[in-house]
Structure 1
Amino acid sequence: MNGIGWYGALVALEFGLAVVTVVALLWIKAPYGRYQRRGWGPTVSGRVGWVVMESPAVVVFTAVFLSGAHRAQLVPLVLLGLWLCHYVYRAFVYPVLMRPGSRMPLLIVALAMAFNVLNATVNAWWVAEVGGYADSWLRDPRFLAGAALFLAGLVVHARSDRTLRLLRSPGETGYRIPYGGGFRWVSSPNYAGEIVQWFGWALATWSPAGLAFAVYTTANLAPRAIDHHAWYRERFPDYPPDRRALVPHLL
C-alpha cells in the first residue's frame, strides 16, 4: 500500500476509535478526576499524567510537521501556531495550574498518549505534506470561520478551567457549583469549548484528519459532560434547573 493509502487507513482508524470510545463511555466513567476509583491498576500524579499523555501532541506534531514538504510555507505555519496554542496550554500550562493530590491510572495515560501520537501524526502530515495550501487559503471563508471558532473555543475552554480551579480555596476539598461564563448555560463549558475548537480546526484545515479529530473529541467528551451534569444534579438540590449538560437549551 502506498503512503497515501497508509495515511487514509490511519484516519479511518481514528474514526473507528471514535465509535469504540463513545460506546465504551456510555457504559463506563473514565476513572480520573471526580470519578477516580480503585481497580484500574497503578496510578500516577495527575500533573505527571497530563504532561506525559498530552505532550506527544506537541512533540510528535512538531516532528512530523518539520518532515513535511510544505513546512516553511505560510499557511502550514499558521496552522501549526493554532495547534500549539491549544496543546502548549493543555500539555504544559494546565498541569502546572492543577491542584495537587489528584491521581490518574497509568492505563488512561497510556491510552491517551497512544491516541495523541496517532492524532498528531495524521493532522501534522495533512497540514505540512498532503494539504498543499496556497497563501490565499488564509482569506478563504472556511479558514476564517474555522480559525474564529477555534480561538473562541479555546477562550471558553481556558476560562472555564480557571473558573473550576478557583472554586476552592487552598487546602479545601470537595466540590461546589460553578457559576459565570459558560456555566450560565451548561455544566461543562470547558468540554463544549474544546469540541468547538476542533470542529473549527476541521473547517480551517478542510481535512479528513481534522474532521476525524473533531468527531473523536465529541465522542470522548460528550458522554463525560452528560455524566458531569447528572453528577451535579444528584449532589446539589439547588443546581440550576435550566442548565444543560453541553449544548445550551438542547443537551
Structure 2
Amino acid sequence: MASSATSYLTHLVEGLQGQYGTVGLYAAVQRLFVGFGFVGGPGSCVIDAPFGKFGTWKRFAVHGDIGWMLMEIVSPLAFLYGLSLPLNTSSSSFLSFAPFRIVSAFRALPLARQVLAGAYLVHYANRSVISSIRNPGRARMNIIIPLLSALFNLANGGTIGVWLAGGIPQTGQAVAKSGLRDAGWAKPLFFLGAVMWAAGLCSNIYHDEVLYNIKREKQAKEKKGKGKESSSPKDRYSIPQGGLYRFVSHPSYSSEWFEWLGFLFATFALAPGPVPPTPVSSLIPSLSLKALPSPLKPLKGWYLQPPALFLWQEIGAMLPRARSGHAWYRKTFGKEWEEKGAKWIVFPGVY
C-alpha cells in the first residue's frame, strides 16, 4: 500500500516537472485540485482566511489592493499561456513564452470556444484590475493570502486554458465553425450558459459596488471628522442594502457561483469535447495517451473537468467564509441586523 502511494506521488511529481509533457502536467494538476477540494473546504470551515473583516494577522501584511491585483492577474495570464500550449506526452519545457503563439491559438479556436475564452478574460479583467481601481481601499492582508491565491490561480487558469483549447490550435485542420455539438439542444444550452454567465457577472459587479459605496461614505465621514480612522467595526462597516442584499448577506458570492455555473453549462455544448471525454488523439495522431502512467492520464467525467473543479473549489472555499461573515454581521450589529439584515446567507429560502 505504501509503495503504491509512493509510486503515485512520484508520478505526480514527474508530471509537474514536465517529464510527460503538457498532458501529464495537466493531469497531475487536475488530481491535485481534486485532493485540494477535500482539504481546502474543510479547512475554510476551521480557519477564516486572514483578510477583510478577518484580517487579524498583522505580521507580514501587504497592501490590500496591490496584493489582490497581483494574485488575481495571474489567472488570465496563466489561462492565455495554457491556451497556447501544444498538447504532447513527451518531456517538454513550459518556460518558453511567445505572445504571437497566444494570438494565433486564440484565432484558431472555433467561435464557441472564443466566446468562452473571452468570458474568462472579461471576468478576470474586472476581478484583478477594474475592481482594484473601483475599490476605495482593501484592508491589508497577510502575505499568505496572495501567495496561495497566486499559486491556485496559476494552476486553475493554466488547466482551464489547456482544456478549453483541447489541442485544436495545433491540428491545422478545420473544426465545425461554431464548435458546438450537432444536436438540437447544443445551441440553446450554450446560449443559456452564456446568459447565466453574463447575469452572474453583472450581479457580482453590482453587489460589489454596493460595498464600495459603503466604504466611500465612511471615508467621506472620516475626512469631515478628525481624520482618524475608527477602530470600531460599527464605525467602519454598515449593513449593505439594495439588490439581492434584501434576501442574502453575500450576494456577490452566489452571483459568482451562478456565473461559473453558466460557464460550465455552456461547455457541455462544445464539440469536439475537450480531452477527455472526446480523446484529443483523434485530432492529433502523434499524441498517445496510452504511453502515460495511470496517475497521469486525464480524469474523465464532466464533474472532474477544470470548469467544474473551479466551481466546486469556489463554493467549498467561499461558503464557510459567507457563513462566518453572516455571523459577524449578526454579532456586530445585533438588533439592527435582525431588523435590516438578510435572513439567508447565499441562497434565498435555503441557506
TM-score of the two chains, using structure 1 as the length reference? 0.91
Amino acid at match of 2:307: G
Indicate the residue corresponding to 2:256 in structure 1: 194
Cα 1:130–1:213 change in 2 (3 A) is farther
- Displacement of 1:34 in angstroms is 0.8
| CA 1:62–1:6: 2 relative to 1, 3 Å | closer
2:343 match: 243
Find the counterpart in structure 1 of residue 126 from structure 2. Answer: 89
Q: For 1:1-251, what aligned pairs fall within 5 Å after superposition?
A: 1=20, 3-38=22-57, 41-67=59-85, 71-72=106-107, 73=109, 74-100=111-137, 102-130=139-167, 134=176, 135-137=178-180, 140-168=187-215, 169=217, 170-171=219-220, 172=222, 174-206=236-268, 208-236=305-333, 237-239=335-337, 240=340, 243-251=343-351
- Partner amino acid for 1:238? E
- Could you list the per-position Cα deviations for residues 88-136 of structure 1 after superposition, in whole angstroms to 9, with x for gaps in the alignment? 0000011112223620111110000000000001100011125897415
- Structure 1 residues 185 and 161: alpha-carbon distance in aligned structure 2, compared to 1, 3 A threshold: same
| Paired AA for residue 114 in structure 1 | L
Structure 1 unmatched runs, 5+:
none
Q: For 2:322, give the aligned amino acid.
A: A
Q: Take 1:57 and 1:47, find their aligned partners in 2: how far apart are those partners?
A: 16
Q: Partners in 2 of 1:244 and 1:14 — Cα distance?
A: 29
Deviations 1:144-199 (Å, cap 9, x if unpaired)? 22212211111111000000111141344511111111101100001111111122
SS at match of 2:148: helix
1:182-230 Cα offsets, whole Å, 9 max, x none, are: 1011000011111111222222223511000000010111111111111
Change (3 A) 1:131 1:145: farther
Question: How far apart are the structure 2 equivalents of 1:18 and 1:159?
Answer: 29
TM-score with structure 2 setting the length: 0.66
Match of 2:48, SS state, is coil
User: Which letter maps to 2:115?
Assistant: V
Mapped contact 2:55–2:140 kept (Cα < 8 A):
yes
Give me the identity figure in percent. Answer: 28
How far apart in 1 are the matches of 2:187 and 2:157?
A: 24
Give the 3 Å change call, closer, same or farther, for CA 218–231 of structure 1 in structure 2.
Answer: same
SS at match of 2:180: helix
Alpha-carbon distance between aligned partners in 1 of 2:131 and 2:119, rounded to the nearest angstrom? 17
Aligned equivalents of 2:84, 2:60: Cα separation in 1: 36
Q: Amino acid of the residue matched to residue 256 of structure 2?
A: E
Give distance in 1, aligned partners of 2:254 and 2:117.
22
- Please tell me the residue identity of whatever aligns with 1:60: A
Pick which of 159-168 and 57-66 moved more: 57-66
Deviation at 1:71, TM superposition (A): 3.0
Q: 8 Å contact 1:11–1:122 — kept in the other structure?
A: yes
Cα distance, 1:241–1:60 mapped onto 2, change above 3 Å: closer
User: In structure 2, do the counterparts of structure 1 residues 226 and 101 end up closer, same or farther at CA, with 3 Å as the change threshold?
Assistant: closer
Aligned length: 250
Matched position secondary structure for 1:102: coil
